[in-house]
Amino acid sequence: MASRSIAPPGRREEWRPHGAAIIGSVTDARVTPDRPISELLGRGRPLRSVEFFPPKDDAGVEALRETAAALRRIEPDFVSVTYGAGGSTRHRTAHVSSMLRTEFGFTVMPHLTAVNHTSAEISAVAHEHYRNGIRNIMALRGDVPKDLAPEAAFADGLRYGSDVVALLRSTHPEFCLGVGGYPETHPEASSAAADLSNLRRKVDAGASFVTTQLFFENAAFYGFVERCRRAGIDVPIIPGIMPVLSLRQISRIAAMCGASLPNRLVRRLEAAGDQAEVAEAVGIDWALGQIRDLLDHGVPAYHLYVLNRARAALALAAGLAA
């Protein structure tokens, strides 16, 4: 398949600041709602998105604001905002989502999880996002906090991502809902087949697209997509890419999410030793190769896990524009 160029696009009307005044959690009624990501995916060109996580303190918020200002130059088609284990960042996720939307004009997709939440609480969070003009949500089961017993982590029959999708679809049909997928199988799944069945349930419940967990060998993604299509999962599947910063960092993250590390990448990071800038350059080069190949294979989008750092995303955009 012919390669597609995704040089940073020109400014489009959806990126103009919305200009809605937010007081507390109440948004001015004149706010223009975000466009659904499913509509953006239908434009016939690959999208680029970036994930943020809510900072722990005010200093972190200012650092995130600087990152967002830098990333506005490459105009991501949308950004996502994570939701801490057990809803631990519920209010900060809402605050950051509103900030990214109103101050920077981003189309925002907050994460929303089932763990440690009742149906009423999930509905309340979703309604707040809805009032603030947000129309896209990443619906997840979520991680169980270490200090919470698994049997106490779920309420109202909300045990899986598919339950969150079904609840949101019933309360706010206008939401475009994304869900997570695991190219190398969820670490807690009993089997790859069971994991795929769970994903099918999420799509059947009303999910519009899938964003994958990170991976470092594109063959894992292509095999995953093929298995999804055979299982009747026909929504767009967006690959998630993380530019590596160090061998220690990525070894820890890969172990948590069940991703394998290619020997070639490990050897290159080992050669970088304790030279942080060299290791980061290795990670960016590896991610750039992944993205170029994914675009050559016609992916509808790619999602960047950049850990609130702008430099990697900017370097990737520059490399793809070359």
Exposure of 131 by Cβ count < 10 A (0-12 exposed, 13-18 middle, 19+ buried)?
middle
* Span of 17-21, 137-141, 244-248, 267-271 with lowest mean pLDDT: 17-21
pLDDT mean across residues, the chain: 87
In this predicted structure, what is the pLDDT of residue 24?
A: 37
In this predicted structure, what is the pLDDT of residue 10?
A: 35
Mean of pLDDT values over 28-32: 57
| For residue 87, pLDDT beyond 90 | no
DSSP string, 175-231: -EEEEEE-TT--TT-S-HHHHHHHHHHHHHHT--EEEEEE-S-HHHHHHHHHHHHHT
Q: What is the Cα–Cα distance from 134 to 110, expressed in whole angstroms?
A: 8
Residues 6+ apart with CB under 8 A from 295: 3, 4, 6, 46, 302, 320
In this predicted structure, what is the pLDDT of residue 93?
A: 87
Q: Which residue has the higher pLDDT, 248 or 8?
A: 248
Task: Grade residue 59 by pLDDT with cuts at 50, 70 and 90.
Answer: confident
116: closest CA among 108, 125, 107? 125
Mean of pLDDT values over 94-120: 93
Residues labelled catalytic = 51
Please report how the helices 90-104 and 58-71 are oriented relative to each other, as an axis angle in degrees rounded to 10.
40
The string of pLDDT tens digits covering residues 146-197 is: 776 666 677 888 889 999 999 999 999 999 999 999 999 999 999 999 999 9
What is this structure's pTM? Answer: 0.88
Task: Grade residue 8 by pLDDT with cuts at 50, 70 and 90.
Answer: very low
Residues 6+ apart with CB under 8 A from 198: 160, 161, 162, 186, 189
